[in-house]
Structure 1
Amino acid sequence: MTSIFRTVMGAGFDRLHPRLQRRFSVGLTSGEACTGRGVMSRIWHGGTFVRPFLALGATRNILVPRTGRNVPFTIENVPYTDTFGRETVSFVRTFRLPGRPRRFDAQMVLGPGGDRVLDYLGTHQHLASELHPSAEPDGSLLIRSGEHRFREGPVDVRVPALIGATAEVRESYDDTAGVFRVRVRVVNERFGPLFGYEGAFTVTYSDIRACGVRPGLRPVREESRA
């Protein structure tokens, strides 16, 4: 079994910078977890109209309701098997904003056809997004979101583009500085930019058999629908 990202990207995975290849090979096969620590130079929001939505999302660890500069940052990528038997890798981001740290939680699994990543967001996985990763000519990783779905009990609906958003993540490795660089933008097709952050971090790897999955990293509720 290969990693989730290698499976989806196929030969494109080998075009990534070697440091990115290792980072996105984290999984049950590699037996490694990856922890990134650094600083987000900027966390930004769009117009004031987005603030209530960001505040609501923050109650379930979705997006970040505050802006900031030079914010200490951690991302935890830990593989595990969820309650439905699927290989899952956490993408739990913690922004240490003044007064109260904020989390942006995501858990990634392989889509049923092996052609996309499914990104379950938040503590209760009410939102699920399709992610489409690709390698850029410079060896960086570009991830674009596709369809978003909202799921609660019997409800399973596609989020309309009017109220939804498209996420774009660019991650690269800076050989000169020896850091990973990340830039995230979330944009609504009608209202424009909604949220984003950018910064740099370094990573360490650990043996998942030794470190396990720490309490609080997994979601409160797991969603089985793909």
Structure 2
Amino acid sequence: MTSIFQQALGADFDRLHPRLQRRFGISSAQSTSCIGTGVMDRIWHGPAVTLPFLRLGATRHILFPEQGSNVQFCIENYAYRDSFGRETVTFVRSFDIAPHRRRRFDATMVYSPQRSAIVDYLGTHQHYGVLLDLRVDRRGALTIRTGEQRYAGHRFPVALAGAAEVREWWDDADDCFRIEVRVTNRFLGPVFGYRGRFTTRYVDTGTAPVPAAVRPVRENPRV
């Protein structure tokens, strides 16, 4: 089984920087996970009007209202087959905002043959599904932009939806991954974002199974 990113990108997958090919090439067939740790140089949010939405999202591990700099960061990417037999990759991001305050931003991704795209289920219960558009630039970086969004199977109102752009690349000079995330809303403007760096290690999930803590509470069969 090829990775969901290989399926979504097709021949463009080979244009990714080799470090990104390894990171986004994990699949359940390989029994390998990718754990990244590092520092987010800056985490920010938009104007005060965005805070109620961020607080609500935090209850399901979708965004959060805090800001910060030099924040310790971890991202857990595990590939496994879900209860519907779909190849799935976790994107569980943890931010240590303060000594006793950790925030999470959870997602699980599957590839939809019907839509020829990755579906990104945000949060703990997979109520919120987003189609992703993937592009590889001439330097081998990966840019991910959100497309159609649905909540509990229904199209999500544009007025409430956030448009996200994620750019991830390998920094040869500093020997680390770099990431920048920006979420905006058509009416509210900038909503949330972060940027920083991390390094990775690879774990054999044949001997260390996928932790229950990174799996969603509920799985959604809709793609």
Name the TM-score class by shorter chain.
Answer: over 0.9
Which residue pairs with 2:106 in the alignment?
A: 105
Q: Deviations over 1:149-205 (max 9, x none)?
A: 001xxxx31112211121100000001100000000011122211100000000000
2:166 counterpart of 1:175:
no
Shift of 1:114: 6.1
2:219 counterpart of 1:197:
no
CA distance in 1, matches of 2:114, 2:29: 20
Q: Is the CA contact 2:50–2:188 (under 8 Å) kept in the aligned structure 1?
A: no
Q: Deviations over 1:4-39 (max 9, x none)?
A: 001110111111100000000011133210000000
Which residue pairs with 2:155 in the alignment?
A: 158
Q: Is the CA contact 2:90–2:215 (under 8 Å) kept in the aligned structure 1?
A: yes
- 1:10 aligned counterpart, secondary structure: helix
Q: Is the CA contact 1:4–1:27 (under 8 Å) kept in the aligned structure 2?
A: yes
- 1:57 aligned counterpart, secondary structure: helix
2:102 counterpart of 1:126:
no
Which residue pairs with 1:46 in the alignment?
A: 46
Q: Is the CA contact 2:80–2:87 (under 8 Å) kept in the aligned structure 1?
A: yes
Shift of 1:40: 0.4
Matched to 2:86, the amino acid is R
Which residue pairs with 1:2 in the alignment?
A: 2
Q: Is the CA contact 1:8–1:114 (under 8 Å) kept in the aligned structure 2?
A: no
Which residue pairs with 2:30 in the alignment?
A: 30
Q: State the identity %.
A: 52
CA distance in 1, matches of 2:186, 2:91: 26
Which residue pairs with 1:20 in the alignment?
A: 20
Alpha carbon RMSD of aligned pairs, Å?
1.0
Q: Is the CA contact 1:43–1:69 (under 8 Å) kept in the aligned structure 2?
A: yes
TM-score normalised to structure 1 length: 0.96
Which residue pairs with 2:117 in the alignment?
A: 116
Q: Is the CA contact 1:7–1:114 (under 8 Å) kept in the aligned structure 2?
A: no
CA distance in 1, matches of 2:196, 2:13: 23
Matched to 1:41, the amino acid is D
Aligned residue pairs, count: 222
Unaligned runs of 5+ in 1: none
Matched to 1:149, the amino acid is R
- 1:101 aligned counterpart, secondary structure: strand
Matched to 2:94, the amino acid is T
